[in-house]
């Protein structure tokens, strides 16, 4: 039995008022994140019998405003996600409107960002982040991971836009590299690595910006 099934059983049989958010029941939609024995986890992806010795305690995700019981407010989370321009940007907008447009990519180019594209926006990484515990304005590991996902995509031309956003007071330099975001991610995404790579790109870019420096596309600076 999963923790989600147990909670639904409790809701059906003992307390109809328990508030839970869920949808897919298969670790795909990212809706059922909660604190389970102190760690952010997906309730549909966690087995009750893991805790047969210790007992099981659930609570709402940390670092999010509480709505009720196990439901937290994700508006701020999605605003931060949107702030990093999480889609392919092309300098020629008209090109994207043409159905004949084709953006080719080889296997090595795909590997640059593939793991980051597995993010289901469950928000567990942000709940685990010690920086977000002290700085609610921090962009956070999820959005920074997605900033890198598009910066690293060879089809994208919006890297400078995103690097400017993340190279800010509440951006990449606030990360202490605790690595807890990557530890709790249920999809194998490594936001801590993404933040390190964004830092490297920002530093490379500032060197390239020096007068007399050769022009170089961002993808070449990885």
The CB-of-2 to ligand FES minimum distance in angstroms stands at 9
Query: H/E element holding 71?
Result: strand 71-72
Residue number with CB closer to ligand FES (28 or 117): 28
Are 212 and 176 spatial neighbours (Cβ–Cβ below 8 Å)? Answer: no
Looking at the DSSP assignment, which residues form a beta bridge with residue 41?
34
Residues forming contacts to ligand FES in the complex (CB under 6 A) are: 22-25, 27-32, 42, 44
| Site for ligand SF4, residues 116 to 135, rule: CB under 6 A | 119-125
Residue 30 Cα to chain centre, angstroms: 11
The least CB distance from residue 24 to ligand FES, in Å, is 4
**Residue 160 binds which one of ligand SF4, ligand FES, none, with CB within 5 to 8 A depending on kind?**
none
Q: How many CA atoms lie within 13 A of 76 on its CB side?
A: 14
Residue 81, number of CB atoms within 10 A of its CB: 21
23 binds, among ligand SF4, ligand FES, none (CB under 5 to 8 A by kind): ligand FES
Binding-site ranges for ligand SF4 (CB under 6 A): 119-125, 142, 145, 185, 187, 189, 191
């Amino acid at each position: 039995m999963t923790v989600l099934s147990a909670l639904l059983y409790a809701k059906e049989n003992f307390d109809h008022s328990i508030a839970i958010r869920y949808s897919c029941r298969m670790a795909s939609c990212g809706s059922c994140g909660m604190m389970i024995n102190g760690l952010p986890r997906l309730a549909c992806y966690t087995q009750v019998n893991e805790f047969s010795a210790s007992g099981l305690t659930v609570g709402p995700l940390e670092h999010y405003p509480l709505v009720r019981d196990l439901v937290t407010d994700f508006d701020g989370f999605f605003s931060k996600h949107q702030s990093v321009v999480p889609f392919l940007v092309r300098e020629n907008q008209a090109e994207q409107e043409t159905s004949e447009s084709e953006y080719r990519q080889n296997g090595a180019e795909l590997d640059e960002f593939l793991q980051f594209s597995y993010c289901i926006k469950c928000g567990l990484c942000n709940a685990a982040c010690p920086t977000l515990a002290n700085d609610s304005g921090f962009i956070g590991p999820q959005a920074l991971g997605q900033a890198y996902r598009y910066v690293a995509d060879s089809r994208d031309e919006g890297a400078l836009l995103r690097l400017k956003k993340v190279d800010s007071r509440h951006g990449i330099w606030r990360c202490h590299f605790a690595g807890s975001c990557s530890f709790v991610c249920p999809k194998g995404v490594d936001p801590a690595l993404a933040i390190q790579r964004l830092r490297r790109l920002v530093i490379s870019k500032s060197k390239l910006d020096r007068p007399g420096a050769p022009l170089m596309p961002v993808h070449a600076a990885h």
